[in-house]
Structures are given as C-alpha cells and as structure tokens.
Amino acid sequence: MVVGDFPIETDTLVIGAGPGGYVAAIRAAQLGQKVTIVEKGTLGGVCLNVGCIPSKALISAAHRYETAQHSEDMGISAENVTVDFSKVQEWKAGVVKKLTGGVEGLLKGNKVEIVRGEAYFVDNETVRVMDENSAQTYKFKNAIIATGSRPIELPAFKYSERVLDSTGALSLKDIPKKLVVIGGGYVGTELGTAYANFGTEVVILEAADEILAGFEKQMSSLVKRNLKKKGNVEIFTKAMAKSVEETEAGIQVTFEVKGEEKSVEADYVLVTVGRRPNTDELGLEQVGVEMTDRGIIKIDKQCRTNVSNIFAIGDIVEGPPLAHKASYEGKVAAEVIGGEHAEIDYLGIPAVVFSEPELATVGYTEAQAKEEGLDITAAKFPFAANGRALALNNTDGFLKLVTRKEDGLVIGAQIAGPSASDMIAELGLAIEAGMTAADIAMTIHAHPTLGEITMEAAEVAIGSPIHIVK
C-alpha cells in the first residue's frame, strides 16, 4: 500500500457525491471555497445510478408499452406490440451515463477536486481516504457528510439472485413472469407498477393498513384501485412476510394476513422496506458526532452537527430520503460554511410518487393542519373537469389546496393525477413565497393545460369556482 506522507489541505471536504454531496461541493466552490469531494462509488450516488433516474426511465418505458396496447378508447389499436427488454436496459443505462458524466463535468467545471476512495475520520480536522492501492490524509477546515443510505435487509430475506433490493430489480435481464414485492411504499409501488405494465404478475405485501401510507388515504386509494384494475396485480395489506425458499422455478414466499398463513410462488421477490443510513463506517466515534440509535446524525437548523465544523445532509439526517431534500440541505450547509445566513425549512419540500396516477404533496395536509389547530379551508378540484385531462384521456384524480381561513394563505397542497410531479412545483413556490389562494386564482394560466387545475382549486378556495358548481 502506498501511503501519502503529507496531508493535503482543503477548505471544505465533502464525503459522498450523490445529489446532496455534489450539489454542496459545487455551491461551496461558487462561494470561493477550495473543495475536495470523496466518493467510493460512482458520481451521482444512488439516485442517479441505481435509484431515482433509472427507475423513472424503466417506469417511462413500461408506460409506453402499456399505452401502446391499450388506447382503443381513442380509436388507436396496435397488434403484436413487443418489448426488447435488453434494449430497454441499454436505453436506461444510456440515460444514467449522460447524467453521471454531466455531474463529473460540473464538478470539474467548478474546480472541485474529485477523489476516489473511502473516507475515515481521524479527528475533527482530518480524514484518511483509502482505496485498494493507496491511502492519503486530507486536512480540512469544514466537512460535509453526505454518504446516503442503503436498503434495509430483512433477516429472513437475505439478498441473493432471487431476493432483490431495488438495485437488483432495476438490473434484471428479462421481464419476470411473476414478482412478489414486500413493502407497498413508494419504491415498491413504483417498481411493482412498472413491471405490471410490462406484463408481470405482481403481488404486493404491505404490513400497514394501506399502500403508500405516507399519503392521504383518498390519494393512495386511487393508486390501489388502478393497480387492481390492471388484472395482474394482487395487493395484501396488513400482511407480514415471514420466509422465502428457493424452488426449481424461482422462490416461494410465505406470509401471514388476517391470521391466515399463505404462500405464493414467483420468479423473484423484491424487498423494499426502507433504508439504513451509511454512517457506520466513517469513524464518527473518533470525533464524537452525535447520532441516534438508528445511526441518524443529529443536526441543527444549519445542518451543523454537535462538532461545529462538521455538517451532515441527506439520508443520514432526519426526514424522508429524498434526493431534492439532500440537494437543498447541501446548499444550506455550503452557504453556512461560506458565511451566508441560511437555515433549513422543510415546509416547502414536496414528495412525489410516480404511480398511476402520480401523487404529489407539499406543505400541510388537511389532517396535519387540523392537528396543529389551524383553522383551514380544504378546496378540491377534479381532473375530470379539466379540458386537457379529458383530451389526454386521463381524468382520474384531484387537486386539493389547503389554505388558512383567516387570510387565504396557501399552507399545503396534494395532487393525485397525471403530471402531479410537475404541477406540485407551482404550489411549493406559492408556499415559499407566502402567496394566497387569491394570488393563484388571479394568475393567468394557459388554456388548455393541467396547470389550470391549480387555478381552479384556488377559485374554489376563495368561493368563486367557475367550472364546478359551488
């Protein structure tokens, strides 16, 4: 092993080059810092390589296939529609390659030093970076930890060729005939839907009362109903997965639902029951960084740990494991280090599921607002009353606007419907800018667009709806 004799000095050291780390590095460099970023894997982290981006590419391809087969309502029919799954995977890999190459170009363009290897804290000013062949010490003024998370492995479902995590499910060489999904959260629902659209028989096992438990029931119920309408998806809620056995054909999963033990055979089982923070091999005990029992790093409003020059962002701190949350926190941490006033405020952070229909939420839900004792108005407008949704032949869903009754201030919104993932941005901006329902209602929205639904819901909120009867 070659060992560096002298420490290399840097202003800001970022550990992890995912959507939190690389954004933090770029922002710190823009603010005049000498920045070094350390990554043991591929630039872009889980999101770009084996998460957000490849999953959405697979979902998009599956949706195209499903639409090609089922557009008879619009007078369009196609025969012998086929899938070359190896080409789907090749196309997906190309999307990933473009984005990861773009990240490298952005880092280099901002003069960020990229170092490959694993970082281990020696003290609160020093890390040791090691790879297979060498080790080097880096001395820093400030550090940002952005090491992300990994899938939780269930003791009874050890990962193998047949027991998959999300990475394995995205890398299959062939479309499975049957797939069991343990966990009906956003990852399980998204990937289960994608494979169902490719023609796979899918069985979803969810321990909670509903799939997509983080969303309002009226939203998740739409997704559940549409999955069942496909005819090749079976959903068990309040179901506990117990064991898996390999068979000649694939696997057999045993589970319990309503006190009854059942079993199902399939080609694969996908386990999506949450993620674990990557904080266990960094040497954080060397510097006394405070963590919870789950390995979550404790931070303040400026993403600062109890060690004043060490910051933490993304999946390793409290909150949902969302790429855009990590990027947001990365900018806050970099700006605090750069001497600017910045602190985190999560009210305007959206959450999105690329299900059918898409779900998106930002700010308070109606129930959360009432729990906080807020006097609110919940105004709802259906996609079925929107011209663009009718023209798309996709009218399932609604937009709900949550406003403060005293002044109409927008404090939350939920969308279930086509392009909900894009539409939620306007409502996040409304919350961030302190806008009222009247502000949105008076903003001219192009016709015919799905965006008009936001305006229409705002008109409902102020008591003057045009396209539904008051």
Domains in the chain: boundaries:
2-150+276-346, 163-273, 357-461
Average pLDDT over the chain, rounded to an integer: 96
- d(CA 359, CA 222) in angstroms, rounded, equals 10
Query: Would you state the pLDDT for residue 2?
Result: 45
Residue length of the chain: 470
CATH match for 163-273 among 3.80.10.10, 3.50.50.60, 3.40.50.2000, 3.40.50.300: 3.50.50.60
Mean pLDDT of the 425-453 span = 98
Report the CATH number of the 357-461 domain. 3.30.390.30
- Residue of 426, 431, 413 whose CA lies nearest to 359: 413
Taking only the tens place, the pLDDT of each residue in 161-212 is 999 999 999 999 999 999 999 999 999 999 999 999 999 999 999 999 999 9
- Given a cut of 80, is residue 447 above it in pLDDT? yes
Taking only the tens place, the pLDDT of each residue in 388-424 is 999 999 999 999 999 999 999 999 999 999 999 999 9
Q: Which of 4-8, 136-140, 354-358, 452-456 has the lowest mean pLDDT?
A: 4-8
Domains 163-273 and 357-461 share a fold: no
Query: Would you state the pLDDT for residue 248?
Result: 84
- d(CA 174, CA 172) in angstroms, rounded, equals 6
Query: Would you state the pLDDT for residue 470?
Result: 83
pTM check: above 0.75: yes
CATH match for 2-150+276-346 among 3.30.420.40, 3.50.50.60, 3.40.50.300, 1.10.8.420: 3.50.50.60
Taking only the tens place, the pLDDT of each residue in 209-228 is 999 999 999 999 999 999 99
Query: Would you state the pLDDT for residue 1?
Result: 39
- Taking the CA atoms of 352, 202, 94 and 164 in sequence, report the sign of the dihedral they define: positive
The annotated binding site for NAD(+) is made up of 183-190, 206, 274
Query: Would you state the pLDDT for residue 451?
Result: 98
Longest dimension (CA), the chain: 77
- d(CA 208, CA 238) in angstroms, rounded, equals 5
Query: Would you state the pLDDT for residue 6?
Result: 87
- Residue of 10, 9, 12 whose CA lies nearest to 333: 12
Query: Would you state the pLDDT for residue 273?
Result: 96
Query: Would you state the pLDDT for residue 247?
Result: 87
- Given a cut of 50, is residue 100 above it in pLDDT? yes
Q: 3-state SS of 11-36?
A: EEEEECCCCCHHHHHHHHHHCCCCEE
As annotated, the active-site residues are 447
DSSP 125-148: TEEEEE-SSEEEEEEEEEEEE---
- d(CA 31, CA 26) in angstroms, rounded, equals 9
- Taking the CA atoms of 71, 76, 79 and 84 in sequence, report the sign of the dihedral they define: negative
Kindly state the percentage of the chain with pLDDT values over 90: 97
The annotated binding site for FAD is made up of 56, 147-149, 315
- Given a cut of 70, is residue 5 above it in pLDDT? no
- Given a cut of 90, is residue 249 above it in pLDDT? no
Mean pLDDT of the 147-172 span = 97
- Given a cut of 90, is residue 310 above it in pLDDT? yes
- d(CA 314, CA 149) in angstroms, rounded, equals 9
* Residue 396 burial by Cβ neighbours in a 10 Å radius (0-12, 13-18, 19+): middle
Query: Would you state the pLDDT for residue 39?
Result: 98
- Given a cut of 90, is residue 453 above it in pLDDT? yes
- Given a cut of 80, is residue 4 above it in pLDDT? no
**Matching residue, tokens 């992300």:** 148
The annotated binding site is made up of 56, 147-149, 183-190, 206, 274, 315
- d(CA 387, CA 31) in angstroms, rounded, equals 47
